[in-house]
A = this chain, B = another copy of it.
Amino acid sequence: MSSGSDYVRPLAELAVQLGANVQPGQVVLVVSEPGKEPLARAVAEAAYERGAKFVDMYVFDIYFKRARVLHAAPDTLDYVPPWLGAQVLALGEHRAASIALSGPVAPHLMDDLDPALVGKDMLPWLKQIPEVVEARTTNWTGIPCPTDDWAALVHPGLEPGEALARLWRKVAHMCRVDEPDAVAAWRSRLDQLVEVAGKLDALALDALRYYGPGTDLTVGLFPSSRWQTVRFSTVGGIEHVANIPTEEVFTTPDPERVNGVARATKPLFTSGAVVSGLQVRFEDGRAVAIDAEQGAATLQTLAAHDAGAARLGEVALVDRASRIGAMDTVFFDTLIDENAASHIALGHGYANAVDDDDRERMNTSGIHIDFMIGSNELAVTGLTRDGGEIPLLLAGAWQLERAI
């Protein structure tokens, strides 16, 4: 196993069978980038073998974005041609499936550009994506796709071939395709996460309190905030797993009741830039100060995108039993890193986690940016409506057996 090529086919099959759960006769979109062709093609093949009617591909090229930021008129950088959003809506209308291949490509390509300009171009993010997610009309998933670029970022000290092979081994392990039956392994893990979510729901918490080095944050919850896993199902009843790997339970918080300071415990990679050493201070729900050692301007620009961009749309808890957390590796890919540690997200909330009344109060935005605040040093406590405090996570371990 030198290049990871033995894992390509199993990972593609997992994405098609368990992730998107592609149905016979469905149209499938593969969202990819240059350099990800081997996995993209394996996904297409696995989807057709499972009976897909048509497999389309959307390719985003970060080099096009660099040329745009360098040369286009700054006041046009937020322009999006309408057919991109129309395609997303059409996927919903057609009850299509979607499989996105994550993992940074050319991660330092924007380093010499003005982060404020980089952040104005939100693509490949589109405001129609959360609309279709909320409508639950597509069965979708995201999976990691190792590339040479990404391997060099995660393992800069290794020779390129060895870096790629090591990243593939880690991705295969976290995606459980090194198991004899990856689908069965995931069903078991997802059952556990669903059980944790049920226990958290039973606590009927009013708020969460995060306390650790650089972090002292309280996040209010709605009365109807329900804890979720990414084991989703569509309006038509197709069960899908919205990302693989997944180790989180999450819900939609009250965007007006967030106070304190949160220090990110891992870098995040967004809009073509690495943001590291991030610290965010919240007052009455709003992020009023965003500081970072690197990439602050990118996140500041994103947080100014619209009225909801500086407020929270998600809180997620991850215990250290996760295979990703155990690796103690920064992957510079939100899909993976958010599943290594507890995190919060600026921007759009997940509407299906709250009831109709609270849905009108949940945060709405054109962005959704996760950042990781969890660590072994972070304690997460649940605050009940009657003033009680219940330990949820201590030293990265669930305290729920004691709590219930």
Contacts and interface: CB of A to CB of B under 8 A. Distances in A.
A108 B48 CA distance: 21
Contact of A63 (B44, B53, B72, B80): B44
Interface residues of A, number: 40
Interface string A38-80: 0011001100110111111101110110011011110010011
A321 interface: no
Given A41-B61, A64-B57, A52 B72 contact: yes
A51 B84 CA distance: 21
Interface in A177-220: none
Interface in A152-167: none
Interface string A361-376: 0000000000000000
Nearest to A34: B37
Contacts of A37: 34, 61, 63
Contact of A44 (B27, B67, B94): B67
A83 B90 contact: yes
B61 A81 contact: no
Contact of A82 (B53, B64, B84, B90): B90
Contact of A71 (B49, B61, B79): B49
A135 interface: no
27 contacts: A27-B81, A30-B64, A34-B37, A37-B61, A41-B61, A41-B64, A41-B67, A44-B67, A45-B71, A48-B70, A48-B72, A51-B73, A53-B73, A53-B76, A54-B79, A54-B80, A55-B67, A57-B59, A57-B60, A57-B64, A59-B59, A81-B90, A81-B94, A83-B83, A83-B90, A86-B86, A87-B87
